[in-house]
Amino acid sequence: MVNAKELLTVAKSLPVDPELFRGLFRQILEVRLFEEETIQLFHSAKIIGYLHPSIGNEAAEVGATAGLAKADIIFPTHRGHGFFVARGASFEKLMAELMGKEAGYCKGRSGDLHMVAPEVGIMQVQGILGSQLPQAVGTGVAHQCQKNGRVTLCAFGDGAAGNGTFHESLNLASIWKLPVVFFCVNNGWAASFPFTKSTSAATNAIRAVGYSMPGYDVDGTDVWQVYCTVKEAAERARAGGGPSLIQANTVRWRGHDPSDTAPYRPKEELETWDLHDPVRIARKQALDRKLLSEADIEKLKGEIGKKIAQAVEWGLAQALPARADYLAEVSGKF
């Protein structure tokens, strides 16, 4: 048996920067409060259709985004609102899009499953699992040709890694030494199928070895660890050192989406979710390191809550796309 640990790379741990950490904590909280609100909106039928909340993945999404430069490109997963929030996307336009309103990021036509926000460097969410990987490789080709110094972070789930595109993309990115960071968010589940049954490796990170790139297996609930790892991988990519593969391990909160009661999940796992709750973990880290006080956190919560409430109110007040206008716009065009 191969010792998995020996095959993995461990990122250099950077000293915690108080200012940066406070910012990351704020973003983690933003993602959480944003998602708690979207779930409410889903249950009150203000968001209709698909919704894949990022709860459980906040630290992974926020940490990964922080490890990149502003001009770098992100391909989020279908559970990827956290990337949008971490990139500073407009809460108003996000909410409006999720509600199917004309004022949303994609004129209310893309919703949760196909959203895109080029203004903050975020490529389209994919409803087809794994299809983003070769496209991310393609952006890497463009970065290389354009010598633009940019890097692409391509996120995907542990489930999506089952598809052939995962292997094809890693190989291609490696032979061409492309500036791509493959970021697998393993939340333990792909719909009803657990990681332990779907994946023949202890961690996808080991697979990096076969594609001649570094593989990192990190605690995806530890924002600083994720940040340091993505930063290292992104800097290597930027310097011409080629791609890396990171698996960030998180725990999925409840069901696949708000309508899934997850009867297939072991009770113990649901009961111990608190231990893996990125908000609790980041909060404790902030308090222990004396970067924030309880009062600071309460104040922050109030501020963010207000900002989200305003975005919701704004979104609700926006118009749905008019059917006649839509018809006139698309008829005979495609």
Partner 1 sequence: MRQLQYNEALNEALIEEMTRDEKVILIGEDVGAYGGVFKVSKGLLERFGPERIRDTPICESAIIGTATGAALMGMRPVAEISFIDFILLAMDQIGNHVAKIMQIAPGLLELPMVIRTEGGVGGGIGCQHSQSLEALFAHLPGLKIVMPSTPYDAKGLLKTAIRDNTPVMCIENKKLYALKGPVPEEEYFVPIGKADVKREGKDITIIATSFMVHEALKAAEALEKDGISAEVVDPRTLVPLDVDTLVASVKKTARALVVHEAVERCGIGAEISAVLNEKAYDYLDGPVLRHAGLNVSLPQNWHLEPVCIPSADSIREKVKSILG
Ligand X SMILES: Cc1ncc(C[n+]2csc(CCOP(=O)(O)OP(=O)(O)O)c2C)c(N)n1
**Contact with partner 1 (CB under 8 A) among 4, 20, 22, 163:** 163
Build a one-symbol-per-residue string for 114-133: x at contacts with ligand X by CB under 6 A, - elsewhere.
-------------xxx----
The answer to whether residue 316 forms part of the interface with partner 1 (CB under 8 A) is no
110 binds, among ligand X, partner 1, none (CB under 5 to 8 A by kind): partner 1
15 binds, among ligand X, partner 1, none (CB under 5 to 8 A by kind): none
Build a one-symbol-per-residue string for 220-259: x at contacts with ligand X by CB under 6 A, - elsewhere.
--------------------------------x---x---
The residue count for binding ligand X (CB under 6 A) is: 16
Enumerate the β-bridge partners of residue 182.
154, 245
Enumerate the β-bridge partners of residue 193.
190
Contacts of 264-271 with CB under 8 Å at 24 or more apart are 264/192, 265/189, 269/188
**Per the structure block, which two tokens stand in for 81?**
């609102």
User: By the 8 A CB rule, do 68 and 230 touch?
Assistant: yes
CB atoms within 10 A of CB 141: 16
User: By the 8 A CB rule, do 99 and 316 touch?
Assistant: yes
**In this chain, which stretch among 27-35, 112-120, 136-144, 278-286 interacts with partner 1, using CB under 8 A?**
112-120
User: By the 8 A CB rule, do 11 and 219 touch?
Assistant: no
The answer to whether residue 111 forms part of the interface with ligand X (CB under 6 A) is no
The dihedral through the CA atoms of 38, 40, 41, 45 has a sign that is positive
**In this chain, which stretch among 28-36, 197-205, 278-286, 297-305 interacts with partner 1, using CB under 8 A?**
197-205
Q: Which of residues 50-89 bind ligand X (CB under 6 A)?
A: 77-79
Enumerate the β-bridge partners of residue 190.
193
Residues that bind partner 1 (CB under 8 A): 48-50, 100, 108-114, 126-130, 159-160, 162-164, 190-193, 197-199, 264, 320-321, 323, 326-327, 330-334
